[in-house]
Amino acid sequence: MAIRVSIVGASGYGGGELARLLAVHPEVQLVHLTAETKKDEEMSVLFPNLAGFVEGKTVEADATRLAADSDVVFLSLPSGVAMKLAPELLKEDAKVIDLSPDFRLKAPHLYDRWYKMAHASPEYLDEAVYGLPETHRVAIRTARLVANPGCYPAAAVIALAPLLQSGKVTRTGIIVDAKSGVSGAGRGLSMGTHFSEVNENVKAYNVTTHRHTPEIEQELSEVAGESITVTFTPHLIPMTRGILVTAYVPLAQKTSTADLMAVYREAYSSEPFVRIVTEGLPQTKATLGSNFCDVTVRVDERAGLAISIAAIDNLVKGASGCAIQNMNLMFGLPEETGLNVPGLYP
Amino acid sequence: MAIRVSIVGASGYGGGELARLLAVHPEVQLVHLTAETKKDEEMSVLFPNLAGFVEGKTVEADATRLAADSDVVFLSLPSGVAMKLAPELLKEDAKVIDLSPDFRLKAPHLYDRWYKMAHASPEYLDEAVYGLPETHRVAIRTARLVANPGCYPAAAVIALAPLLQSGKVTRTGIIVDAKSGVSGAGRGLSMGTHFSEVNENVKAYNVTTHRHTPEIEQELSEVAGESITVTFTPHLIPMTRGILVTAYVPLAQKTSTADLMAVYREAYSSEPFVRIVTEGLPQTKATLGSNFCDVTVRVDERAGLAISIAAIDNLVKGASGCAIQNMNLMFGLPEETGLNVPGLYP
Amino acid sequence: MAIRVSIVGASGYGGGELARLLAVHPEVQLVHLTAETKKDEEMSVLFPNLAGFVEGKTVEADATRLAADSDVVFLSLPSGVAMKLAPELLKEDAKVIDLSPDFRLKAPHLYDRWYKMAHASPEYLDEAVYGLPETHRVAIRTARLVANPGCYPAAAVIALAPLLQSGKVTRTGIIVDAKSGVSGAGRGLSMGTHFSEVNENVKAYNVTTHRHTPEIEQELSEVAGESITVTFTPHLIPMTRGILVTAYVPLAQKTSTADLMAVYREAYSSEPFVRIVTEGLPQTKATLGSNFCDVTVRVDERAGLAISIAAIDNLVKGASGCAIQNMNLMFGLPEETGLNVPGLYP
Amino acid sequence: MAIRVSIVGASGYGGGELARLLAVHPEVQLVHLTAETKKDEEMSVLFPNLAGFVEGKTVEADATRLAADSDVVFLSLPSGVAMKLAPELLKEDAKVIDLSPDFRLKAPHLYDRWYKMAHASPEYLDEAVYGLPETHRVAIRTARLVANPGCYPAAAVIALAPLLQSGKVTRTGIIVDAKSGVSGAGRGLSMGTHFSEVNENVKAYNVTTHRHTPEIEQELSEVAGESITVTFTPHLIPMTRGILVTAYVPLAQKTSTADLMAVYREAYSSEPFVRIVTEGLPQTKATLGSNFCDVTVRVDERAGLAISIAAIDNLVKGASGCAIQNMNLMFGLPEETGLNVPGLYP
């Protein structure tokens, strides 16, 4: 029997990508697709790729109805909204996979500091499971509330976790330099996502202040078993999809690229969606439209530094694909169900 | 039992796209993947998106071995090569789907004129079936040799066929103005596909001399029941995938957009991969990575002209996806098998 | 003594491009730069390329002050605004170069039909000179009010004028198929100019309804000496700057590419900013950032059709550069002053 | 009297950009433009933007003739060629500005190590002046042989020099993460610059092995007065022009963004082509087509790190523009001559 699934916030890119993937997921029945400002619009007009796959219009979100009709509700909302809606859904026994940042951080004060808002439901932060299967698979299986990772943290944690677990690197001086396509900024209009301003251009943004910083730190600290501080610099580049993370970590001992590659190969040997790149280097195009994260590592022997590089499609492994991977885990399905397709190249 | 499939010319974009789609086709077993200049290379290095899906190396093409091991062989080769290889394969009872232009034109002299070469196997031109299911479905089902359409003709014929059948337009003065992404030029290196020359640029090319002209004319003539001449102007625009055809045809009688839309709706009511766009206009992004052709039509009442517009992904509906649709037909499978997924958006 | 120049609407792309070009114009002193929604902002923040060239903030537009302090005022405004402001400036003896459509059409009823607004100052339409130097140079020299051409009409008229004057083509069945970069849509935010929607995409827009249609028709009719109707289809392609016009006109008599090339060469032999392309075909990149229009023509002998192609930078020859060319004419300067630089390539 | 200038290697992007800028330089007369594989071709066909500005064909390079006819010769050649040609030109009293890496490194063994070739003229390495005016202005004025900086080093050194001079940072653990447009790879064809492979893609390349590493280290070591090692990671992003350098340096003492901004402001207060960005962050688009380097600096107080960011157009300040700035210095002209124009935006 199909899992009944609803999407709250179906008119944005995260919601549209959920609809694209769930429309052909063999174990899923799409129930409600809600939107706020774009309600009562045809999904196939909002997303012309979905014509013939997702028919019907977006509706207004109604927690009671959503919970009654759905086994699981995906929330694809701006920060601050899911923290109010998720508790209502959970109380009525729907499972929730939240793609917003609202349940990712364990310490409520981090929302004050980085999101400039008091958390509305801090009592759920402990229960929420951080939805990166590569580091929290067991807990995800039995979770009611999954906090799906941010796009940058998904790539950064997969890039860095084996290094930090290896004992071969220091835990200070970690730098995460990331390059993102523009779809990561969402479908909302802004001068920073206006075509003519972004095309043929590259710039850093939110230097030292990006909200994914504490999320990366929290997850790397858990992996490392001690408190980690990172410098995180995101950059906007002229493409639609894709994140490339280049991470730098000082070595704690002499080691080689071959040694570290072996560490990565072992760490991810059973992961269905992590591929170790051995010839060439990761590139976002190899993951386009797919749920894969391509990773590699190099040693800069002259500088005594490890460099790990990870590539994802920010809308898939960095958002909606990972969310569906989580759903599969929560409902006892094979983890790859509906996701096991290669990306587009070129 | 799976269909045994080989791909000749697997290192180019057409071949890679066949591999991408066939790797997850539920009724197919990939047997041999051949390449000429890039033989003995890992497919997952040639196409990093295929890592985990298509393992093994490209091999040299050997007609006997290909035919012995394959139920069908896809040929993704430059013009002039398939015309020699296909007969060898057919003689050994393999079916052939040729993505090159070598068997598309019925009149041998057109190869002399437009391709500047004498056809090596003109005796097969009659037997070859032009592989556009929207106009040749019945013949494709029983074909041994299918000539898969060129990317521009696929879009142009789908855009124009209902108009020409309707009797509402003239059969002269037809203009096909097309805009293509760069992948249509293939993976071979040239100054015309060098990033810095193409990016932030648009130009027409092969004005009045493009080789797809006689192919469009042949197919439209068959649809119209009389000889059709078209003016065809392709343009190169800075994107990777996608063709948009804007076609202009003088009206033979007064008609309206609503009338012509009804004509198109009826013409394509049973087509699994043609979608009539009723809100907005076709855009290539709605078809990205998918086998769909999105079409619409408008009447310019002031000028007495019909304008039809079609969008496809040139590597899918314009090449490899259409070829697999043909394979499904030739082997009695449901036509959508392995192809029924929405495109990426955005 | 320098010409005192003000720019009304300096925060948009047209205004910013005027500022870029006028900042290094040897005979110009920039006086006031005004903006409506973005007033009191540093020009060097609105346009970071202008840091070190244009200092100071945008101010509110005040007609009296503008006229008192300026010899000429450039209006870079949305349609409907300049038609009110220009008369005020003219009354106080400033010359006006209007980059909006407000004074381009001679027949007031065309504003009702195409712009859905009654013209506020129809008494100025006769006086206004259409500012395409290639067709109206003499009148521009003595004009008080110049209506600077739309970006598409600038390219279309330069592409087609010699053909229509030659007597070798019919005056019916003219098709103008144009491809534009996104900056032509301005700096205002919209879903249609959101990076992720435009990148890796092409679509037609405003099919049969684009407002530049009557402008093209008016100017071609004047050139031809009889009333001309055109079918005009603009397309949006994923680049920032550039327009390529591909125009189709049925031949009235047998002629050749060589004949028509001679017609173009003669027609534009004295034009400082029209270049006849004899090797290869016009491409927008060759005009990037420059005031040049690159043009060529071909005969499709099979179809009995002429194809003319023109490329411009829509913000320069299609807007601000042409406006400065007009200013040079109006103030008796050499026409190329401040504009005689090659485009960027690549 | 005009400076007589020749360009060796005029068919590549560096040579074309020299021609673009020199064609409108008020004190220059272009004499010979040479090309190897593309000799006897019209410059206006090789670079269609130059039609009307640079007429005539490329010729074969002849050292004697070049030296006899030129006051200065620009060499825009692959590594290994200028090291043979420059001595011949110098012996015949022409000045040489070499855009290749052949005279940038002072230690001959670095050519063995990083360029895998023995230097053919090591006796000239001492005399050659590294042509970054911001750090070597005085020596450039009297140089016969200027080694024009690599594109990455130009941006990296401008980004980091004030930090290293300030005494506020450590001299170890320096990371230079750079993002480049594709024109930096030149006009030669390769799979890595094929449009369909690069578009909608980002990847690192030459990790730990890029040849600009020793050049950055040499120049920073000179600035710092002690030996500096850097980790340098270049990335290729889907745009034509522009380099953004994001550099990370651990702090040696507590400091603030305001303190470091003051350091930069003072360091570059007299530089004609370095702009300190105080609002927003540097972006390559603000420098497009211009000779400016836009720079800023931030402190990450949590991590104890300085982040400096620099943006340039790799073909101008990163190559040909800087070379002309050097020529101006060598010939006693005002440094900005022919270069003082703003970039294109958008």
pLDDT tens-digit series, residues A221-269? 999 999 999 999 999 999 999 999 999 999 999 999 999 999 999 999 9
% of chain C beyond a pLDDT of 70: 100
Res B149: pLDDT:
98
Strand order in the sheet with D95-98: D28-34, D3-8, D72-75, D95-98, D145-147, D129-130
Residue C146, SS3 per DSSP: strand
C122 and C158 both lie in a single domain: no
D281 and D164 both lie in a single domain: yes
CA dihedral D61, D62, D66, D67 (to 10 degrees): 140
Position C138 in a domain: no
Position D321 in a domain: no
A188 and A285 both lie in a single domain: yes
Position D77 in a domain: yes
CA B266, B269, B271, B277 torsion-angle sign: positive
Res A164: pLDDT:
97
C341 part of contact set with chain D, CB < 8 Å? yes
pLDDT bin (cut points 50, 70, 90) of residue D1 is confident
Beta partners for residue D180, in sequence order: D236, D243
Q: What token pair was written down for C304? A: 């009995």
DSSP collapsed to 3 states, chain D: CCEEEEEECCCCHHHHHHHHHHCCCCCEEEEEEECCCCCCCEHHHHCHHHCCCCCCECECCCHHHHHHHCCEEEECCCCCCHHHHHHHHHHCCCEEEECCHHHCCCCHHHHHHHHCCCCCCHHHCCCCEECCHHHHHHHHHCCCEEECCCHHHHHHHHHHHHHHHHCCECCCCEEEEEEECHHHHCCCCCHHHEHHHHCCCCEECCCCCCCHHHHHHHHHHHHHCCCCCEEEEEEECCCCCCEEEEEEEEECCCCCHHHHHHHHHHHCCCCCCEEECCCCCCEHHHHCCCCCEEEEEEEECCCCEEEEEEEECCCHHHHHHHHHHHHHHHCCCCCCCCCCCCCCCC
Shortest alpha-carbon distance between residue D125 and chain C (Å): 32
Res B326: pLDDT:
98
Nearest to B240 among D183, D190, D200 (CB): D200
Cα angle vertex C3, ends C1, C5, to 5°? 150
Question: Considering D127, D160, D176, which residue would you say is the last residue of a domain?
Answer: D127
CB-count exposure of residue A116 (10 Å: 0-12, 13-18, 19+): exposed
Question: Considering D94, D127, D160, which residue would you say is the last residue of a domain?
Answer: D127
B172 and B110 both lie in a single domain: no
The closest of B139, B222, B196, B178 to B314, measured between CA atoms, is B178
Cβ atoms of D173 and A250 closer than 8 Å:
yes
- Whether C321 has a pLDDT exceeding 90, the answer reads yes
List, for residues B122-180, the tens digit of each pLDDT value. 999 999 999 999 999 999 999 999 999 999 999 999 999 999 999 999 999 999 999 99
Shortest alpha-carbon distance between residue B345 and chain A (Å): 6
The closest of D76, C201, B199 to A183, measured between CA atoms, is C201
Position D235 in a domain: yes
Cβ atoms of C86 and C6 closer than 8 Å:
no
- Whether A1 has a pLDDT exceeding 90, the answer reads no
List, for residues B269-290, the tens digit of each pLDDT value. 999 999 999 999 999 999 999 9
pLDDT bin (cut points 50, 70, 90) of residue D19 is very high
Position B333 in a domain: no
List, for residues C136-173, the tens digit of each pLDDT value. 999 999 999 999 999 999 999 999 999 999 999 999 99
Position D39 in a domain: yes
- CATH number of the domain at D214, please: 3.30.360.10
Residue type, D275: R
The overall average pLDDT reported for chain D is 98
Q: Is the Cβ pair C283, B201 closer than 8 Å?
A: yes
CA dihedral C107, C109, C110, C114 (to 10 degrees): 160
User: For residue C239, what is the nearest residue in chain A, using CA coordinates?
Assistant: A199
B274 and B164 both lie in a single domain: yes
Tokens 């077993």 found at: B29
- Whether C102 has a pLDDT exceeding 90, the answer reads yes
Distance between CA A216 and CA A229 in Å, rounded? 9
- CATH number of the domain at A44, please: 3.40.50.720
The pLDDT of C46-64, averaged and rounded, is 97
Helix axes B321-330, B13-22, angle to 10 degrees: 50
Q: Is the Cβ pair C289, D285 closer than 8 Å?
A: no
A vs D: CB pairs below 8 A? 157
Instruction: Tell me the chain A residues in contact with residue B20 when contact means C-beta distances shorter than 8 Å.
Output: 342, 344-345
User: For residue C196, what is the nearest residue in chain B, using CA coordinates?
Assistant: B346
C187 and C262 both lie in a single domain: yes
D115 and D156 both lie in a single domain: no
Residue C298, SS3 per DSSP: strand
Task: Give backbone dihedrals phi and psi of D72, rounded to 5 degrees, phi first.
Answer: -145, 140
Shortest alpha-carbon distance between residue B301 and chain C (Å): 8
Examine the residue annotation and report whether B151 is marked as an active-site residue of this protein. yes
Helix axes A151-166, A257-267, angle to 10 degrees: 120
Distance between CA D20 and CA D17 in Å, rounded? 5
Res B219: pLDDT:
98
% of chain D beyond a pLDDT of 70: 100
pLDDT bin (cut points 50, 70, 90) of residue D76 is very high
D302 and D222 both lie in a single domain: yes
Helix axes D151-166, D212-224, angle to 10 degrees: 30
Distance between CA B242 and CA B314 in Å, rounded? 5
Helix axes C212-224, C151-166, angle to 10 degrees: 30
Alpha-carbon C171 to chain mean position: 24
Res B1: pLDDT:
80
**Among D residues 156-195, those touching chain A with beta carbons less than 8 Å apart:** 173, 175, 177, 179, 181
Question: Considering A70, A93, A127, which residue would you say is the last residue of a domain?
Answer: A127
The closest of D175, D92, D171, D96 to D128, measured between CA atoms, is D96
Peptide bond into A214 cis (omega under 30): no
% of chain B beyond a pLDDT of 90: 99
List, for residues A96-119, the tens digit of each pLDDT value. 999 999 999 999 999 999 999 999
Instruction: Tell me the chain C residues in contact with residue A243 when contact means C-beta distances shorter than 8 Å.
Output: none
C202 and C304 both lie in a single domain: yes
Domain that holds residue A93: 3-127
User: For residue D52, what is the nearest residue in chain C, using CA coordinates?
Assistant: C275
Tokens 């110009």 found at: C28
- In sequence order, which ranges of chain A are alpha helices (DSSP H)? 13-22, 43-46, 63-69, 82-91, 108-115, 133-141, 151-166, 195-198, 212-224, 257-267, 321-330
Nearest to D193 among B183, B194, B238 (CB): B194
Task: Choose the mutation target among D13, D49, D294 for the interface with C, i.e. most C CBs under 10 Å.
Answer: D49
The pLDDT of C112-120, averaged and rounded, is 97
pLDDT bin (cut points 50, 70, 90) of residue C1 is confident
Residue type, C105: L
- Whether D262 has a pLDDT exceeding 90, the answer reads yes
Residue type, C321: G
Cβ atoms of D202 and D238 closer than 8 Å:
yes
ipTM strictly over 0.95? yes
Q: Is the Cβ pair B279, A20 closer than 8 Å?
A: no
The overall average pLDDT reported for chain C is 98
Position D59 in a domain: yes
D115 and D241 both lie in a single domain: no
Position D199 in a domain: yes
Shortest alpha-carbon distance between residue B192 and chain D (Å): 9
C274 and C160 both lie in a single domain: yes
Distance between CA B283 and CA C337 in Å, rounded? 42
C214 and C110 both lie in a single domain: no
Q: How many domains does chain B have?
A: 2
User: For residue D239, what is the nearest residue in chain A, using CA coordinates?
Assistant: A200
Q: Which of C151, C169, C182, C276 is catalytic?
A: C151
